[in-house]
Amino acid sequence: MSETGATPIVPVDIGSRAEPPFAKLPDPATLFRLRAQRFAVLAQTHELAPYLHFMAGLAEAQHRANEAGLPEPRMPGRAELDLARQHAMPPIDRNGFAEDPALAATFDRLFDLAPQIDMPDQARAALANVTRMDGAEREALGRAAFEMRLDPARLAEQSFLAAGMQVHAARLAARLDVKTLSSVGQGACPACGGPPVASLVVGWQDAHGSRFVSCALCSTLWHEVRVKCVCCGSTEGIRYREIEGGPGAGLVRAECCATCNSYVKIMLQLKDAALDPVADDVATVALDMLLRDDTTRRGAVNPFLLGY
């Protein structure tokens, strides 16, 4: 494992001026299919190929579920939006998901599609379990995955439920007015208040070299300056660690903070536009395993790495 100090990873090109937006909303029509494609590509040469192939199938099922003519999600009203803005709260209330019929329809559609995925017997048994659950249990167990309240006996069930939650949350976030979003706290998604999964250094026009943090739940991206802890906001004692020659080498690093002793991966999407915060986080789990032997804690949430 190599380590570098707190220096910018990739400089902005000379003559360009980055003027990044505060946030970018997800596009559910393309989000999960592109993720499925990324998982499939990563599986071609990876030692975790069976799991990555499974994840490619699950992401494709998420995409197809979104295409299935789901009912419109229940959006917050004007009064709720005004109250959220007044108190620096996210406009999407994750605690209200259970009351939305669109979430139940999303779960049902996803679980109808999921049996087509090639998966081990343990995963198929977990799928059967979530299919039998009532709506309240599904929502509660799925939401717990993003709050790192894990049930060791039902980690596979939580992963399936989290996949449904992601589809629902992305559909909600996509319908927001991005211009109304503002910070709701360090390390919290401005759309839904969800946790980060990773950050991306992007190559977008007018934002070249800028860093955006990706929400683990709704996939909204929000701008965050470089060489700064995503979790606590400290700019002191930031260092980067990666596995030389391993998966993601030169593209994915762990940004470690000496202040809060946490890390979140940072991915150089401007070097490879196909990098996906969820898929490439899973594919670089070897980095997590090495850091787990250290004293640094993982500050990101990925429902498909539960238990690591």
Dump pLDDT digits (tens) for 174-190: 999 999 999 999 999 99
Asked whether residue 251 is domain-assigned, the answer is yes
pTM of the model: 0.93
Share of the chain above pLDDT 70, in %: 94
Instruction: Clarify whether residues 59 and 162 are in a common domain.
Output: yes
Confidence of residue 7 (pLDDT cuts 50, 70, 90): very low
Quick: pLDDT tens for 113-144. 999 999 999 999 999 999 999 999 999 999 99
Instruction: Answer whether residue 268 shows pLDDT above 50.
Output: yes
Cα–Cα dist 8/21, whole Å: 20
Q: To the nearest whole number, what is the mean pLDDT of the chain?
A: 92
State how far the Cα of 13 lies from the Cα of 172, in Å rounded to an integer.
35
197-211 pLDDT, tens digit each: 999 999 998 889 999
Residue 150 — φ and ψ, nearest 5°? -95, 145
Structure tokens at 264: 């979140």
Domain presence at residue 306: no
Query: Are 36 and 162 within one domain?
Result: yes
Element (H, E) at 84: helix 78-86
Q: 305 lies in a domain?
A: no
Q: Which residues contact 165 (CB under 8 A, 6 or more apart)?
A: 97, 103, 139, 142, 143, 145, 146, 217
163-172 pLDDT per residue, tens: 999 999 999 9
Query: Does 307 fall in a domain?
Result: no
Question: What is the number of alpha carbons within 13 Å of residue 160 lying toward its C-beta?
Answer: 28
Q: Is the dihedral of CA 253, 195, 305, 234 positive or negative?
A: positive
Please identify, among 125, 146, 176, the residue that sits at the C-terminal boundary of a domain. 176
CA distance 291 to 296: 6
pLDDT band per the 50, 70, 90 thresholds, residue 14: very low
**First-to-final CA distance of the chain:** 19
The residue from 143, 176, 209 where one domain ends is 176
Residue 139 class from Cβ within 10 Å (0-12 exposed, 13-18 middle, 19+ buried)?
Answer: buried
Q: Does 162 share its domain with 34?
A: yes
Structure tokens at 174: 């996509």
Residue 303 located in a structural domain = no
CA dihedral (65, 68, 74, 76) in degrees, to 10, reads 70
Can you give the residue range of the structural domain that contains 257? Answer: 2-24+180-298
Number of domains in the chain: 2
- Answer yes or no: do 156 and 126 share one domain: yes
Report helix, strand or coil for 139: helix
List beta partners, residue 214: 198, 221
What number is the average pLDDT over the span 103-110?
A: 97
Residues 278, 143: Cα–Cα separation, whole Å: 17
Q: What is the mean pLDDT of residues 290-297?
A: 84
Contact partners, residue 12, CB within 8 Å, separation at least 6 = 18, 208, 209
Together in a domain, 165 and 63: yes
How far apart, in whole angstroms, are the C-alpha atoms of residue 116 and residue 229? 40
Q: Any idea which residue has 């360009």 for tokens?
A: 16
Tokens, residue 245: 């020659």
- Same domain for 16 and 155: no
* pLDDT tens for each residue of 35-75: 999 999 999 999 999 999 999 999 999 999 999 889 999 99
Residues 172 and 55 grouped into a single domain:
yes
